Amino acid sequence: MDTTCAVRMEEVTKTFGPVVANDRVTLEIRKGEILSLLGENGSGKTTLMNMLAGLYFPDSGRIFVNGKEATIASPKDAFAHGIGMIHQHFKLVNVLSAAENVVLGLEGGALLDIREVSRKIREIAEKYGFSVDPAKKVYDMSVSEKQTLEIIKLLYRGAEVLILDEPTAVLTPQETEKLFDVLRVMKKDGKAIVIITHKLHEVTSLADRVAVLRRGTFVGEVAIGETDAAELTNMMVGRQVSLNIDRSEPENTAPRLKITDLTVVDDEGVTKLDHVNFTAFGGEILGIAGVAGSGQKELLESIAGLCPVKSGEILYTPEGKKPSNLVGKTPMQIKSAGVAMAFVPEDRLGMGLVGGMGMVGNMMLRSWREGGGAFVHHKDPNALAKKVMDELEVVTPDVNYPVRRLSGGNVQKVLVGREIATAPSVLMSAYAVRGLDINTSYTIYNLMNQQKKNGVAVIFVGEDLDVLLELCDRILVLYDGKVSGIADARTVTKEEVGMMMTHLGKGGEADA
């Protein structure tokens, strides 16, 4: 195998204000090899790769491409050096076709020969085993098709080095396998591939070599044959963490939320939830699986009163109280009616947090109305902020430091910590560990388990099936706004859940 060096980063440093994102990192990317870049949240993986992609410019250090020193000051420079990156958020124009997106921004004559472009796209697709329709509009595409298009875009531009930032976060297991097959073909073709991921099993099944970052510094690299998940985790977090989620048997379960024929239609008349039926019990964790956009967000938002319900009933029964219907109540009423609901929104900053405020200001989002008089009370939120900071090990210079400037994982800790602190009786969380490193993820799993033991009905929307299978008691699978099935998490297999995510099952084998 040809494994000469494609890109070499030497002593690269990047700072953002007081935060050192990368501290003298030296990294080699080789041709014909899949390198997995592993690290905790805020360890600087994406920042490091963004410097290769031309989005950031290093404060110091040097970059060599094919042995020659290179200056990459813009994405255009990156392309000129054959480096391309696929970001977590796709950068495609919705109203244009696949072919049009591919040539977008390329220099060329005044006339565009879209047929020639389409022919070349098909050629690339055939070579690497993609399936793609060059004439298809982006808004008609599934997430996985969009990702394929992003990859083709890079290959069309002659990228020799491909960087993928958490590519599997949005894919089903089947789609992930397909992507990995394509990546393996590209590897055989001599491309250098870097994949940023948190999922250890993906690292071990796909990568040839793993490079580990911790707190912005390079910890080391290992060939995949010479390591195992436990060692990699140790390298990432710097200390031993247990890889087992302890799952207790549910005790004293009682129906907490009974949802009957819940139907939600959005502003544009699209049915987002279609006659959804299920019951969530106190003292258990109900996992919700589904491809992104299958109605998870609408389900949680309609329970929280943030999303108008077309029809159906949400019957809430607090411990020792009479049931009441939550439909038609405002978020505030749902809260003040004794329904303490903790909601970790999908889009953590856009919805759950105020980026410009510090931890204290954000803790106040839950309690700002409390206390008499016209003035806000800072004391309790201040104490709560300190508590969350200590217990969840939030890295921040100060409790009043704007959370926008914290790293993604720390932002999420602030959010989850606050939600749990409200001592809810139904705890809903969507993607609570999205993008979190293993160590922090486990902190959050433990918090969820603690809530379950306290008799809380925990609803956990997740994207990592391994975690759902290990953490939850039951798993409800949504497919296109419908309940595709409800399974016992202790007996169901990942493949079975994956099938339910992509095909409508029997429609929920009743409330098991």
Amino acid in position 210: V
335 counts as binding another protein under rule CB under 8 A? yes
376 counts as binding another protein under rule CB under 8 A? yes
Interaction mask 284-323, another protein, x per CB under 8 A: --------------------x-x-----------------
CA atoms within 13 A on the CB side of 111: 3
Asked whether the beta carbons of 476 and 459 are under 8 A apart, the reply is no
Residue among 68 and 89 whose Cβ is closer to another protein: 68
**Interface residues for another protein in 391-450 (CB under 8 A)?**
none
Q: How far is the first Cα of the chain from the last one, in angstroms, to the nearest whole number?
A: 52
59 counts as binding another protein under rule CB under 8 A? yes
One of 1, 4, 26, 60 touching another protein (CB under 8 A): 60
Rounded to whole angstroms, the Cα distance separating 27 from 125 reads 30
DSSP string, 113-160: -HHHHHHHHHHHHHHHT----TT-BGGG--HHHHHHHHHHHHHHTT-S
SS (H, E, C) 85-97: EECCCCCCCCCCE
Q: Tell me the residue length of the chain.
A: 512
Residue among 316 and 445 whose Cβ is closer to another protein: 316
343 counts as binding another protein under rule CB under 8 A? yes
**Considering Cα of 463, then 469, then 471, then 472, what sign does the dihedral take?**
positive
One of 27, 364, 406, 476 touching another protein (CB under 8 A): 364
Q: Residue 285 is encoded by which pair of tokens?
A: 């964790």
One of 129, 220, 338, 355 touching another protein (CB under 8 A): 355
Asked whether the beta carbons of 290 and 299 are under 8 A apart, the reply is no
One of 91, 178, 215, 366 touching another protein (CB under 8 A): 366
Least Cβ distance, residue 359 to another protein (angstroms): 14
One of 111, 270, 374, 510 touching another protein (CB under 8 A): 374
Rounded to whole angstroms, the Cα distance separating 56 from 74 reads 8
Residue among 23 and 480 whose Cβ is closer to another protein: 23
Q: Which stretch binds another protein (CB under 8 A): 59-67, 91-99, 448-456, 463-471?
A: 59-67
One of 1, 4, 26, 71 touching another protein (CB under 8 A): 71
Q: Which stretch binds another protein (CB under 8 A): 7-15, 45-53, 222-230, 239-247?
A: 7-15
Residue among 129 and 355 whose Cβ is closer to another protein: 355
83 counts as binding another protein under rule CB under 8 A? no
CA 346 to chain centre: 9
One of 5, 182, 265, 351 touching another protein (CB under 8 A): 351
Q: Residue 61 is encoded by which pair of tokens?
A: 């250090």
205 counts as binding another protein under rule CB under 8 A? no
Rounded to whole angstroms, the Cα distance separating 394 from 406 reads 9
Asked whether the beta carbons of 224 and 49 are under 8 A apart, the reply is no
Asked whether the beta carbons of 80 and 54 are under 8 A apart, the reply is no
345 counts as binding another protein under rule CB under 8 A? yes
One of 361, 462, 481, 505 touching another protein (CB under 8 A): 361
Asked whether the beta carbons of 188 and 34 are under 8 A apart, the reply is no
Rounded to whole angstroms, the Cα distance separating 374 from 238 reads 48
Least Cβ distance, residue 307 to another protein (angstroms): 11
- Residue 421 CB contacts under 8 Å (≥ 6 apart), including other chains: 363, 366, 384, 387, 388
Q: Which stretch binds another protein (CB under 8 A): 122-130, 168-176, 208-216, 342-350?
A: 342-350
Least Cβ distance, residue 274 to another protein (angstroms): 25
Asked whether the beta carbons of 85 and 52 are under 8 A apart, the reply is yes
One of 368, 383, 423, 503 touching another protein (CB under 8 A): 368
**Interface residues for another protein in 448-507 (CB under 8 A)?**
none
510 counts as binding another protein under rule CB under 8 A? no
Least Cβ distance, residue 25 to another protein (angstroms): 13
17 counts as binding another protein under rule CB under 8 A? yes
One of 52, 78, 183, 353 touching another protein (CB under 8 A): 353
109 counts as binding another protein under rule CB under 8 A? no
379 counts as binding another protein under rule CB under 8 A? no
Asked whether the beta carbons of 363 and 388 are under 8 A apart, the reply is yes
Rounded to whole angstroms, the Cα distance separating 106 from 417 reads 46
CA 446 to chain centre: 19
Residues in contact with another protein by CB under 8 A are 11, 13, 15-18, 57, 59-62, 68-71, 73, 77, 80-81, 304, 306, 330-332, 335, 343, 345, 349-357, 361, 364-366, 368-369, 374-376
